[in-house]
Amino acid sequence: MDNVICKNYKSMNGEIKIVIVNKNCPYSSKNTKVSKIHLMGRIVDKIISLGVAIFRKVLKYFYINTQEMKHNILIFKQDRLGDLAITIPLLSILKEKLPNYNVVLITSPSNYELAKKIPYVDEIIPLSNRNLCIDYKEMAKITKRIGSLYKFMKYDLKEYIKVLKCYSNSKYGIDLVGRRRNALIMKILKIKKICGFELSPFSFLYDFKIQYIEDENIILQFLKFLEALNIHNYNLNTNLALNGFKYLRKTGEIDKKIVGVHLGFGGEKCRDWGLDNFLALINMLIDNNYYVKVYYSIYEKKEFNRIYNKLKHKSNIKYIFCRNLDIFLQELEDIDIYMGIDGGPSHIVDILGIPNIILFSRENPFKWGPFMSKSTIIKGIIENCEIRECGENICIKTITPKLVFNEIKNIVGEKDEQ
């Protein structure tokens, strides 16, 4: 029997259950250099913010903007797949409450396929967000950050301004990435109201700021930007859609329940649950009369082949090679429950309202966990760790296949009773 701690947090469907394996990781750590840089940035930001506020008040007496504001809302979200998926609830409310506004989504080229499927967007602009400090080792060095900003100013800024200049004098701009370079671009474009997270340094560039909270779900944090657009009364739609997708919820007596198992771990080794664990879970499901869909991409092809060769059952299982997003979505339409690792595909599954079990490693489940669906989170250890690439990788592997199987049974059982 696994030694676990159970917690809950409120979501759109009542409560999300968090099962935490009651272990500590001897390798977890906090990056003190990054924390010190952020602290210094906040101090600098407060000082500059005061000066900017005074300057703006003085400027109002001498400057009158006679140019007409355009009814555009620019949304900057140029990061990974899951990060775009969790903006969909915000986009749906914007489109419902402000139908006369043009919602413009600036996204990364790699997320263009998902962006095209979002029905709450009027225009999509794929723009690469190169030359960024991504890992904590880079972020901890001032020279790396300065170099990153210099490269952006030299190579990327002209491209951004050239592409976005037709949106100058737009009414609203929201930076959901948390990078001040987006605020700088919007300042150059003369966006009337620039919104973003109160992150250090240089958040003084934002006209409307909200705090970035570690223990509040990120979808709820995004919705706070609605206040800047004077949207206070709204209902979050639980029937969010993607173009071309329909979740076929099954009714009546069914011989076998369909469980989708995703082998991916987002390219980060600390999220790799391990071949033996996946193999044990799949065998366990088939032994108990479940039908299993196994999802894998080009990045997990070797792992899939090794699992396939070791499976003791070859029936009651379907193998789905997800060459693109369309295949993945199509094969989600008839499953009863999805099991995967915290990452982009799991965020898509949550937004579409599909019941799921999500395994967490270092990330904070209260912040990055599901919010829109019937879900259970299983976290490997108690601590939240800031090591991006841990060579030990023990956190997620403390989760046993038996624990995951029992939680799948719990969710499917609840669904049967409804």
32-229: CATH topology = Rossmann fold (3.40.50)
Task: Collapse the DSSP code of 119 into the 3-class scheme (helix H, G, I; strand E, B; otherwise coil) and give the result.
Answer: coil
Q: Pick left, alpha or beta for residue 240 (phi over 0 → left; psi -120 to 50 → alpha; otherwise beta).
A: beta
pLDDT for the residue numbered 309: 85
> Domain extents for the chain?
4-30+246-417, 32-229
Do the beta carbons of residue 334 and residue 250 sit within 8 Å? Answer: yes
With CA atoms as reference, report the closest residue to 273 among 261, 282, 265, 284. Answer: 265
**Both structure tokens of 376:** 């259970």
pLDDT for the residue numbered 247: 83
Domain 32-229 in the same topology as domain 4-30+246-417? yes
In order of 39, 355, 361, the CA distances from 216 in angstroms are 21, 21, 18
Measured in Å, how far apart are the chain's first and last C-alpha atoms? 28
pTM of the entire predicted model: 0.87
Do the beta carbons of residue 33 and residue 52 sit within 8 Å? Answer: no
Strands 14-21 and 4-11, by their bridges, are: antiparallel
Phi, psi at 374, each rounded to 5°: -75, 110
Q: How many Cβ atoms from other residues are within 10 Å of residue 292's Cβ?
A: 24
pLDDT for the residue numbered 52: 59
- DSSP element (H, E) containing 303: helix 301-310
In the predicted model, residues of the chain with pLDDT beneath 70 are 1-2, 29-42, 44-67, 130-148, 150, 154-155, 200-202, 249-255, 266-267, 386-391, 414-418
Superfamily of domain 4-30+246-417: Glycogen Phosphorylase B; (3.40.50.2000)
